[in-house]
Chain A
């Protein structure tokens, strides 16, 4: 008995392990139900969320998260919500969009990462296109029909790629905003246009229809 007590008293607990357990920290963007790490791009037309990503992830709930813009603390927590209004101007972007994430564990070990969020203005298609919806066009299967549309993007440096879908068949027409196509039988036909910028943000117009009438016939 006395021996057991003596040995219990002799057991000295080891020093608590206060070395950092998290090896790295990163940031992901969640928008349109899609989460991605690269590029850190947000479509300015929709709300988005920044999510901290620590490795190993099992320690995710053991640390505190601080979102900064420069030295200004913007928020705390595993996620950081971004509203469309936060991206309405460059002034608001500087005020509301973080560029640094700091994490801190119970032992006050800190780890930080800096990042840059790309606020991408999505392309826009004008609803004014040719043929106009419901337009009646005259010709035979060899007659070229003009398809034209206009797209724009406030991020001017970006290339816009278009898909012209005629009767359900998609043509990759690249940067073209006007083409002539033939091969239309008499009757109803449909088309629609989709535009995508280099960062993958898209716009489209609803399907339009036009009618081909072969009145040329034999003179």
Chain B
């Protein structure tokens, strides 16, 4: 058989042969030194801030959002067949990075799966625990708050209701018992929602107890149960307690307390000081009717408070808070006393209050709608520098107002008139 080859075909054959001769076939062989290994990783964070902590495991509350991030080495742009996320084996997401919330309580395994161009599967798994904090009943407890006359020498049993809304997690409790001086007598962790205290307590004392619930991930209950009780007195003794305060924001108040018996005769007179309030605690008292009159020493603007109460056998009566009020504002007078003033180098005003010292920062002076900054207040006297130049020659009356706030924030504004320091003719002549 004879093949007949045309001239163009022969030329094409020559070109192909030349090309193949110039090609290095080694380049088509696998070279493991040039191969790059693919690595992936998945992390979670709560914020896009670069400083935000990045984790591979976290505990969140149902509905909390997490940001899921991935890294692919050498690059996310390398050829791949597929990538996706699963949660507990089911579909979760199909993006590299995204923000998503998980509502189902439990310990979830969330995996990022990457299948490369050759079909090899790589994955990285995160652990997300979704848990709701325990709930504690802050209203109903044993003993109910303000229980009286518990025997200080016997076991006192506490119980409260709490539950895990997820019904999945163990709950434990932080129980604290404090006396009226806030000294901690019991501070313990409990596995159960009850506690029996065998501590010997003092008679006629107020004790406060509190409980916070935690789940096994240390998530605390949103609320803390706080309640108090009183121990009984020995030999039928009684007591009265309470808190005395005032409307003043002044520190260290001195309260005067007078206790009258059922015949309105003074039984006891004493002083209390506190910042801002003072604890009242009168003991021992026999059962009967009493009157308590509370006032503030040398602060006559405060109205005294009178409380009538009765004490039963073995009772510690906790009174409602006694808050003394001052509704009288400061007094402001010009020196000499007048509401029309002559322009002088320094104007003086007498500002006083019988509900506590007035702070210079609570005094304002306004002249011609301008707040004066150069005022000075000392020994109940306000000094307002006032040169004739500052006033300029004027033929009409000018207003100057002085405003003061007392420690109970009662406000007084007094307006004074500055007499003209020139006649109309003098002003126009000038």
Contact = CB atoms under 8 A, between A and B. Distances in A.
Contacts of A182: 143-144, 146-148
A179 B195 CA distance: 11
Interface in A79-109: none
- Determine chain B's interface SS by DSSP, over half rule: strand
A142 B148 contact: yes
Contact of A174 (B146, B148, B150, B194): B194
Contacts of B288: 219
Contacts of B159: 164, 171-174, 176, 179
A19 to B, nearest CB: 32
Contacts of A142: 146-149, 315
A143 interface: yes
A175 interface: yes
A175 B289 CA distance: 42
Nearest to A174: B194
A86 to B, nearest CB: 35
Contact of A169 (B140, B147, B313): B140
A183 B140 CA distance: 10
Counting chain B residues whose Cβ lies within 8 A of the other chain, the interface size class is 20 to 34
Interface in A148-195: 164, 169-176, 178-183
Nearest to B193: A172
A219 B147 contact: no
Nearest to B312: A216
A144 B147 contact: yes
Contacts of A1: none
A8 interface: no
A183 B146 CA distance: 9
A218 interface: yes
Interface string B329-360: 00000000000000000000000000000000
Please give me the 3 A-B residue pairs with the lowest Cβ-Cβ distance, nearest first: A142-B148, A174-B194, A183-B144
Given A172-B159, A180-B156, A182-B148, 13 more contacts: A140-B312, A142-B315, A164-B159, A171-B160, A173-B142, A175-B194, A179-B142, A180-B142, A181-B143, A181-B147, A216-B312, A218-B310, A219-B289
Interface of A: 140, 142-144, 164, 169-176, 178-183, 216, 218-219
22 contacts: A143-B149, A144-B143, A144-B149, A169-B140, A171-B159, A172-B193, A173-B157, A174-B192, A174-B194, A176-B157, A176-B159, A176-B196, A179-B159, A180-B142, A180-B150, A181-B142, A181-B143, A182-B146, A218-B289, A219-B289, A219-B311, A219-B312
